[in-house]
Amino acid sequence: MPDVHQLTCARLPTLAGDFQLCLYANSLDNKEHLALIMGDISGGEDVLVRVHSECFTGDVLGSLRCDCGDQLLAAMTQIAEAGKGLIIYLRQEGRGIGLLDKLRAYNLQDEGYDTVDANLLLGHQADERNYDVAAAILNDLDVRSVRLLTNNPHKIESLAALGVVINERVPLIPAVTAENAGYLRTKAERLHHLLDLNTRVENERQSGATAHESA
């Protein structure tokens, strides 16, 4: 596990509620990873936690190609509703391939390749993320066990292998749109994310039909 050092924290009021944003240095890479904290989580059991990998296009620009921005906002909202929790924001853009190759992968996706094949064609693995820094930050904050906000079984397995006690998986339900449907399908079919997209799409169709009838 890498060494991590909390450099500073500051109050961060958001639309979801008031958080503390803490900046971490670490011995693994030169990136500045972050912890977004609500409430007193030190020594906490079953703390609601989201380990979120940076997505500039989704988190900042609201890209419809993915569900990353929606996941981040949903995690902040659920933590605010719970009154305490933690989001660890890891600076590993594009499943770890960086922003440059992520944009190149976008172009390949527009040519018909899915997100996995686009990464492979660029010489990367399907997913190059690791969660060592996240485990170290959880240890630094003395979080004893977590309820993990994720649909990704690989993330669960990776954190558990690093000693993180995960007592529950809390799903994040995506909105399926014309722009992200293929992306979500690839997540489910090729990366084995825990997504029931058929049920989700059917529910949204029924909801749309009901709204149309009501109008």
- Which tokens sit at 120? 């492979």
**Residue 139, SS3 per DSSP:** helix
pLDDT of residue 198: 67
Does 129 participate in catalysis according to the annotation? yes
Distance, in Å, from the CA atom of 98 to the CA atom of 112, rounded to the nearest integer, reads 21
**Catalytic site residue from 70, 129, 132, 147:** 129
Each residue's pLDDT tens digit, 20-79:
999 999 999 989 999 999 999 999 999 999 999 999 999 999 999 999 999 999 999 999
What is the number of structural domains in the chain? 1
Q: Which residues contact 84 (CB under 8 A, 6 or more apart)?
A: 38, 39, 40, 41, 44, 47, 48
pLDDT of residue 76: 97
pLDDT of residue 208: 47
Domain harbouring 101, CATH code: 3.40.50.10990
pLDDT of residue 210: 44
Query: 50 has which bridge partners?
Result: 87
**Catalytic site residue from 127, 185, 190, 200:** 127
Query: Containing H/E element for 19?
Result: strand 18-26
Closest CA to 20 of 6, 9, 30: 9
89, 35 Cβ separation under 8 angstroms: yes
Q: For every one of its 215 residues, what pLDDT tens digit does the chain have, with 9 covering 90 and above? A: 899 999 999 999 999 999 999 999 999 998 999 999 999 999 999 999 999 999 999 999 999 999 999 999 999 999 999 999 999 999 999 999 999 999 999 999 999 999 999 999 999 999 999 999 999 999 999 999 999 999 999 999 999 999 999 999 999 998 899 999 999 999 999 988 998 876 444 344 444 444 444 44
| Residue 57 domain boundaries | 4-214
Q: Which residues contact 62 (CB under 8 A, 6 or more apart)?
A: 69
Closest CA to 88 of 139, 125, 153: 139
